[in-house]
A and B are shown apart, each in its own frame.
Chain A
């Protein structure tokens, strides 16, 4: 329990008061799967760089004590899923939590320290400027993040496709660093796609279909502070194939998506 404790459990008990919950506050959701190595530093940095924001770690079926580590830290709440459901499912739990507790915005932030918490305030500022979904984007002129070869081509292809679908220029649609407004949280709490790549690619199609405004903000990506990258270059070809399939299905889903430019 952190500092000034909020009496939100009373609100949860009395559904009539849920709306008053955390009105005006933002929630940082950190999906974590076996991130005990990198997570402590991330939590410390989050609480020092953005002290006014609540942090929720969604422990996605970790077996390395990630959840206990968060509980001991005392700086973040933790929702512990009984088994691994993937980033999409973990985020949906986070959006549900945010909606039920009346947060005004959700920022998704990776547990491996790649995302600079200092950028969270900038993402939230974009929401205040009227956007519903803001992607913290690499390859947007800031930072030196590089990926090689085929994977780079795949990401460029996805970015241009989704730029066309959403009607706005996006350079990095697979970024796991993004902010969602209260409107977006309401949509995502119900239908955040839990499948592979759903949290990145399909979620943008869902947002677009729900009439949410989408934009991006250039951010710098840092070195991972622990763990191993989840994608090896060997998997790049399969990655592109699956990504194209996910994108195609997302667009075809319920016959929507025809209204793209």
Chain B
């Protein structure tokens, strides 16, 4: 009897934890579904132990525990796969972001140097760029000073 109570409590604990994490938005829905299903099924089977016995016998398992183990292994396999996929995607994205950050940093440095070094006298090749430069002359000068002190 005590084992049944422990089982029911454990199953409920997982269910409550999952719902609470979801409520706090700490757990994303796409990872939560599988844990919700697992904890719900666990609650049902611990509250009605006879059900587990019948289902496992119907499926041809000699011992109900083996049925539980088999299902558990399968669930963990799926979860592990899903996490591997997600980690791979995240890795790829963070790597691409790192490359972009590097390229952007390079562009910023170059712009700062250009503004600091040759803002007033450099001939401007593009007519619309020239108009823009004139309009933003003050701002460009300010930025140039800031850039100069930062990179110098």
Interface residues of A (CB under 8 A from B): 1, 7, 9-10, 12-14, 17, 58-59, 71, 77-83, 85, 89, 92-93, 96-97, 100, 194
Contact = CB atoms under 8 A, between A and B. Distances in A.
A81 B99 contact: yes
B107 to A, nearest CB: 6
A97 B95 contact: no
A82 B125 contact: no
B81 to A, nearest CB: 17
Given A10-B126, A14-B129, A81 B98 contact: yes
17 contacts: A10-B129, A14-B129, A59-B102, A71-B109, A77-B106, A78-B106, A79-B102, A79-B105, A80-B105, A81-B98, A82-B101, A89-B95, A89-B99, A96-B99, A100-B103, A194-B92, A194-B95
Interface string B98-123: 11111101110111011001000000
A10 B114 CA distance: 10
B99 A13 contact: no
For the complex of A and B, the 5 pairs showing the least CB-CB separation, nearest first, are A93-B99, A79-B102, A81-B102, A79-B106, A81-B98
A12 B117 CA distance: 19
Contacts, number: 55
Contact of B103 (A1, A10, A96): A96
A223 to B, nearest CB: 30
Interface size class of B (residues with CB under 8 A): 20 to 34
B123 to A, nearest CB: 9
Contacts of A89: 95, 98-99
A59 B102 CA distance: 9
A93 B113 contact: no
A89 B67 CA distance: 46
Contacts of A85: 95, 98-99
Contact of A79 (B103, B111, B126): B103
A215 B36 CA distance: 56
Given A9-B107, A9-B111, A12-B107, A82 B102 contact: yes
A124 B95 CA distance: 29
Interface of B: 92, 95, 98-103, 105-107, 109-111, 113-114, 117, 125-126, 129
Nearest to A7: B125
Contact of A82 (B98, B106, B107, B114): B98
B107 A1 contact: no
Contacts of A13: 129
Contact of A9 (B92, B100, B110): B110
A97 B103 contact: yes
B23 to A, nearest CB: 34
Nearest to A81: B102
Nearest to A93: B99
Nearest to B110: A9
Contacts of B105: 79-80
Contacts of A1: 113, 117
A52 B125 CA distance: 23
Given A71-B109, A79-B105, A83-B98, 9 more contacts: A9-B110, A9-B111, A77-B110, A85-B95, A85-B98, A93-B99, A96-B100, A97-B103, A194-B95
Contacts of A79: 102-103, 105-106
Nearest to B92: A194
A223 B2 CA distance: 73
Nearest to B129: A10
A122 to B, nearest CB: 29
A7 B133 CA distance: 15
